[in-house]
Amino acid sequence: MSFLTVDRLNQVYTDVYTNEHTVAIDDVSFTIPAGEFVSLIGPSGCGKTTVLNIVAGFVEATGGAVQLEGVPVAGPGPDRGVVFQDFALFPWKTVLANVAFGLKMNGVGKAERQATAQEMIDLVGLSGFERKFPHELSGGMRQRAAVARVLATEPSIMLMDEPFASVDAQTRRVLQQEVLRIWDLRRTTVLFVTHDVDEAVFMSDRVIVLSTRPSQVQADIRIPIERPRSWTDMHTNEDFVSIRRELMGMLGVEGAEVAP
């Protein structure tokens, strides 16, 4: 049964001064069943983040519909938790208060929300940093806090917008494995936007490839690699190597070889 349905999405921007129309998203449809981890990749500027913003309710589409569990999406809400590339942690709140924020907004009592927030902080491995302010944390730790904040409200689906693009390469690998570990425990449905092919293949059950603007769904590829996955043996995994090569070809990166 499909859980998230994106149906014939279309987005046209109109320049207020020149009245020129730019078609960002031409026609994008896909569905995600419950519990699946799906990545959305595509060349830069193809509108993958716009798709995510429409699903999140931040941007209203000029055409098409988004349904979550059969209910049309209208505006942002806690049923769709968003993890941002720039973390979007409240600088004036401690890690604990940031993680508890969603619960507070939804009227959960203080003791209960602190307990839940603490549980999430432990889950993402930030124990001991509860009282720190975001600017006192490294990029990787900030993103862990942002993930914890979303998990705390138990969303039906998690929307992740290039969440590891602002952290360094080593931390990125660690975080990718960490997110998979947490995801394995809870099996929340995930829509994951990235421009990194390796990341998409490593993390996902399915990879949806968008074409250049005006974008359409170019391919929808299932990743049959067994879980739990780890970077240590990924580059020798035949599925990984072949799917990676196939995707690189689609994105126009010809002659791409597997990095050592």
Partner 1 sequence: MSVQTTAKTSRPDPPRRTGTSAAARWRALRRRPLVTTLFPFAVVIAVWAVVAELGVFPSAFFVGPATVADSLLTSVQRGILPAYIVDSLTRLAVGTGVGLLVGVALGFLIGLNRHARRFSWPLLLFFQAIGDIAWLPIVIIWFGFSLTSVTVVIVYTVVFPLIISIVAGLDAIPTNLLRAASSLGASRWRMFWEVYVPGALPGLSSGVRTGLGYGWRALIAAEIIIGTSGVGFMMFDARRQGDVSHVFVGMAVLGVLWYMTDALVLAPLEKETVERWGLVEGIGR
Partner 2 sequence: MTMTHKIRTRARVESAAWFLSPFVVLLAAWLVAIPALDVSPRTFPSAPAVWSALVDQTAAGELIPHVLSSLGRVFLGAGIAVAVGVPAGLLMGMSAALSTFFSPLLRFSVALAGIAWIPLATLWLGYGNGAVVFVVFNAVFFAIVYNSMLGVRQTGTSLLRAARSLGASRWQMFWEVYLPGALPNIVTGLRVGLGFAWRGLIAAEIIATSTGLGYTLFLARQYYETDVIILMMILIGVLWLVMDRLLLAPFERRTIQRWSGERKARA
Contacts with partner 2 by CB under 8 A lie at 17-19
Smallest gap from Cβ 19 to partner 2, in A, equals 7
Contact pattern from residue 86 through residue 105 relative to partner 1, giving x for each residue in contact according to CB under 8 A and a dash for the rest: x-xxxxx--------xx--x
Query: If binding is defined by CB under 8 A, does position 60 make contact with partner 1?
Result: no
**238 closest CA partner among 201, 197, 196, 205:** 201
Choose among partner 1, partner 2, none what residue 106 binds, the Cβ cut-off being 5 to 8 Å by kind. partner 1
| Rounded (to 5) percent helix, strand, coil in the chain | 35, 25, 40
Q: Toward partner 2, which CB reaches closer, 20 or 233? A: 20
Q: Binder to partner 1 among 7, 23, 62, 77 (CB under 8 A)?
A: 77
Q: Toward partner 1, which CB reaches closer, 88 or 174? A: 88
Q: What is the bridge-based pairing of β-strands 157-161 and 215-222?
A: unpaired
- Alpha helical stretches, state H, 107-237: 110-123, 139-152, 169-186, 197-203
Contact pattern from residue 132 through residue 171 relative to partner 1, giving x for each residue in contact according to CB under 8 A and a dash for the rest: -xxxx------------xx--x------------------
CA-CA distance, 100 to 114, in Å (whole number)?
6
The C-alpha angle with vertex 64 and arms to 62 and 70, in degrees rounded to 5, equals: 135
CB 195 within 8 Å of CB 41: yes
Residues touching partner 1, count (CB under 8 A): 28
Q: Toward partner 2, which CB reaches closer, 22 or 127? A: 22
Q: Binder to partner 1 among 6, 40, 61, 82 (CB under 8 A)?
A: 82
Beta bridge partners of 4: 32, 68
**217 closest CA partner among 62, 52, 40:** 40
CB 66 within 8 Å of CB 4: yes
Choose among partner 1, partner 2, none what residue 17 binds, the Cβ cut-off being 5 to 8 Å by kind. partner 2
Q: Which stretch binds partner 1 (CB under 8 A): 34-42, 43-51, 60-68, 128-136?
A: 128-136
Contact residues for partner 1, defined by CB under 8 A: 56-58, 75-78, 80-82, 84, 86, 88-92, 101-102, 105-106, 133-136, 149-150, 153
